[in-house]
Amino acid sequence: MRRRTFAGAAGMVCTAAISGCSSSREDGSSSSSTTEQEEDCRTVERTREENLVDELESVSAGSVLTWRFDLEKGQRLIITARLTEGARPAVEVESPSGATVIDVGPTERIQRTMTAREDGRYYIVFENEALITSGQWDIQIDWETDYEDEICN
């Protein structure tokens, strides 16, 4: 007799556990909780930003400063340089295939945004093209990428 009582109780617990996995709607139909959760989800596009370089650089006449970054297609670099003293900066950005994607001659302020058109290593070269004058530059390089985030209620 004890075996039957135990077996009967175990069967009731198992039935209760199985029926708890699905929910019933007011119209009498049942659905999985995963389907309801998918209905309450939405995709939001977000941007992730990171500062890669933020330096005050002293540069002698004719000198070059180079940074390199590995980027994926669609990621962006925001390049900013400001003259604080002396010679004006020039900047050139080279893609992984060797193409020049940004070329700005000497100027007191540079601000450019570059979107990577291919995966690979990009080179950013700041140059003091003055042959006699040294300078001091405030250089900032930021990285941005867009991504999708799924938000469920």
What is the pTM (predicted TM-score) of this model? Answer: 0.70
pLDDT tens digits along 5-35 = 444 444 444 333 334 444 444 444 444 445 5
Give 40's pLDDT tier (boundaries 50, 70, 90).
Answer: confident
User: pLDDT tens-digit profile of 78-107?
Assistant: 999 999 999 999 999 999 999 999 999 999
What is the CATH code of the structural domain delimited by 45-152? 2.60.120.380
Domain with CATH 2.60.120.380 in the chain: 45-152
Categorise residue 13: left if φ over 0, alpha if ψ from -120 to 50, beta otherwise.
alpha
**Average per-residue pLDDT in the chain?**
82
Does the structure show a pLDDT above 70 at 74? Answer: yes
What the block records as the tokens of 136 is 């001091």
Q: In this model, does residue 146 exceed pLDDT 70?
A: yes
How many CA atoms lie within 13 Å of 25's alpha carbon, on the beta-carbon side?
A: 8
Going through the chain in order, the beta strands assigned E by DSSP cover: 22-24, 30-32, 41-59, 64-71, 76-86, 90-94, 100-104, 109-115, 120-127, 135-152
